[in-house]
Structure 1
Amino acid sequence: MTSQKPIAVGTNDSAQSQAAVLWAARRAHRAGLPLVVLHVVDDRWVAEPYPWFGTLQQAGEELLKTAVGRLEGAVPITPATELLTGSVGGSLAKYSKKTSMMVIGSGSGHFGGSLADRALQVATAAKVPVAVVGTQDLEGRSGVVVGVDGSPESTQAVAFAAAEADREGDELTVVYAVSVPDPIVDAGLTPATLADLIVDEDRVVLSEAVAGLKEDYPDLTVHQRLETDRGPVDALVGTAAGARLLVVGSRGRGAFKRLLLGSTAHGVLKHLPCPTIITRTQAAKNAI
């Protein structure tokens, strides 16, 4: 462990955020890291000196006490709490600079689309890996799944996922989804030949993604999965349906540089199959 920065988890007392707090507490305990439970009072629409703003803050403090109280007897950890003000996504993303990982619930459909308003905002702007946790039953699940596409972000995602799987005694499945040309494509080759060439090239990309893992983790079982019938989001969501964890890079090979969150990461979070960690290249040395 190279960093003693805490794991932080945001809560609003929804079922998803309750699951996120428990997941974060268990991870912090296993990693020997401090845990901070956060709640954000959205004060952007409040103008002082409205007297009920203090009521909102008091309610937030009570919510944090309740969230921490639920951990008693479940996880042997004593978390700190902190009440933030401002926009929820922006405040949590800003706070992430103080942490080694930010954890957030996947959101719900209430009050207008929540995932885009919360988890996606944090995953887009945070400076550290972001774990998004839903309410799926994790009992009996095993294995870590990671998506690759040859980008630097996916290379880091594989490194993060391999360390995670090895530490927890899980198997690692590395997934690469590619598009094989439609038969109407004419490249001077027969469609079958062209498709075979592309698949062969992509097998090389997949092999390169796992190169060196055996040396670093000799006891780790690694499965390589090349998907030609499904797009990246469907392939990852389907493969991770029974997994303990899914890991995805924040931005893939095809993403515009101005986009902080790639379409694959965005799509996976919208169809969350299991706890999912979005990694970042700038956080490579802080992986936990």
Structure 2
Amino acid sequence: MDRPVVAGVDGSPPSLVAAEHAARAAVRRGRPLHLVHGYLHALGYGVPVDPYELGVPAPSADGRAMLERTAAELAARWPGLSVQVRQVAGGPAATLVEESGRAELVVVGSRGLGGFAGLLLGSVSTQVAGHARCPVLVVRPAERPVQGAAEAPVVVGVDGSEPARLAVTLAAEEAARRGAGLVLVHAEAAEQGAGETDLLGAAAAEVRGRHPGLAVEQRPVRASAPQQVLVEASGRAGLLVVGSRGRGGFAGLLLGSVSQAVVQHAHCPVLVVHQHGS
């Protein structure tokens, strides 16, 4: 199945940055790019104020023009890239979660406000990262240009869990695609022994077995909060990869998790790993 790379685009600066990252990801993977605009308000679902006026609003000409303009610009920059556009009668987050069931990768922009209110209420990027059925790349307008970010290393968190092992696998593949190094980070408490530290060695050996030419760095860090370690490491990374423990839900959005906290506060794009169809 030729799964596309899907980007949510609404004409805002974060979504246009997401579209650029999505185009690069599609080219690296040899996949088509689909630009999708979920044009209904997230809370209104398109239901008219007058209950007698039933139906869903039609897509707008302005929305279509915005998508086609973005697609034309990306196709001009990457000749040979197949780009399709589509407007969907749905909220932005719900639309991208639905698209994720048929996608290789979903890319979404984030305004990067962070803070407790952002974690409590959620955002499109937070919701998609928590509920998607494929990997999700969350990007925001950043200090480092997209071109320069490709040269920085890929950083991934290691903790021995199945989600983290999958994250390491995808991080190594992404580093190999970019021609970048891979940094394996493990936050270990002061009381942990060699058994925990050996997680890094085992992960590095597995990566080198699959990617013999890949430069791999092991970075154990003494800290009690893995999300703080990963956010700090993201300041020198081109991409931060984290595993996700599942389907999210209101409790997950309310309480937060390592992946949700990193999505809110990282200084570089974040790849949240979900198995396809999970």
TM-score norm. by structure 1 comes to 0.81
Is the aligned partner of 1:241 residue 2:240? no
Superposed, 1:1-288 pairs within 5 Å as 3-42=1-40, 44-47=45-48, 49=53, 53-54=57-58, 57-76=60-79, 77-107=81-111, 109=113, 116-136=122-142, 137-138=144-145, 139-141=147-149, 142-180=152-190, 195=191, 198-229=192-223, 231-251=225-245, 259=252, 263-282=257-276
Q: For 1:265 and 1:227, how far apart are their aligned partners in 2?
A: 18
The whole-number CA distance in structure 1 between the counterparts of 2:219 and 2:55 is 58
The alpha carbon displacement at 1:70 in A equals 3.0
Q: Which runs of 4+ in 1 moved over 6 A?
A: none
- The alpha carbon displacement at 1:161 in A equals 0.7
The CA RMSD over aligned residues, in Å, is 3.0
**Structure-2 change in CA distance of 1:157 and 1:51 (3 Å):** closer
Choose 1 or 2 for highest CA Rg.
Answer: 1
Residue 235 of structure 1: CA displacement?
1.1
Whether the aligned pair in 1 keeps the contact of 2:15 and 2:109 (CA below 8 Å) is: yes
CA displacement 1:80-118 (0-9 Å, x = unmatched): 011111222112101111111111001355xx9599220
Q: Which moved more, 1:138-147 or 1:8-17?
A: 138-147
Q: Give the letter for the 1:96 counterpart.
A: S
* More deviation, 270-279/150-159: 270-279
> What SS is found at the alignment partner of 1:212?
helix
Name the aligned partner's letter for residue 131 of structure 2.
Answer: A
Q: Distance in 1 between matches of 2:73 and 2:237?
A: 26
Give the partner amino acid of 2:67.
L
The alpha-carbon distance between structure 1 residues 106 and 33, as it changes in their structure 2 partners (threshold 3 A), is: same
Q: Give yes or no for contact 2:166–2:273 (8 Å, CA) kept in 1.
A: yes
Partners of 1:31 and 1:131 in 2: CA distance: 14
8 Å Cα contact 2:188-2:197 kept in structure 1: no
Residues 128 and 247 of structure 1: is their aligned pair in 2 closer, same or farther, counting only changes over 3 Å?
A: same
Structure 2 distance, partners of 1:52, 1:160, is 39
SS of the aligned residue for 1:170 comes to coil
Rounded Cα–Cα distance in structure 1 between residues aligned with 2:271 and 2:73: 24
Aligned match of 1:190? none
| CA distance in 1 between partners of 2:177 and 2:105 (Å) | 17
The range that moved more, 60-69 or 42-51, is: 42-51
Deviations 1:119-162 (A, max 9, x none): 01111111000011111123434111001111100000001111
Q: How far apart are residue 51 of structure 1 and its match?
A: 10
Instruction: Note the alpha carbon deviations across 1:37-74, whole angstroms, 9 max, x for none.
Output: 000111514327489934x5333212212322332532
**Contact 1:251 1:262 survives alignment (8 Å):** no
Give the number of equivalent residue pairs: 261
Q: Structure 1 stretches of 5 or more lacking a match?
A: 181-194
Residue identity matched to 2:29 = A
Preserved contact between residue 17 and residue 107 of structure 1 (Cα < 8 Å)? no
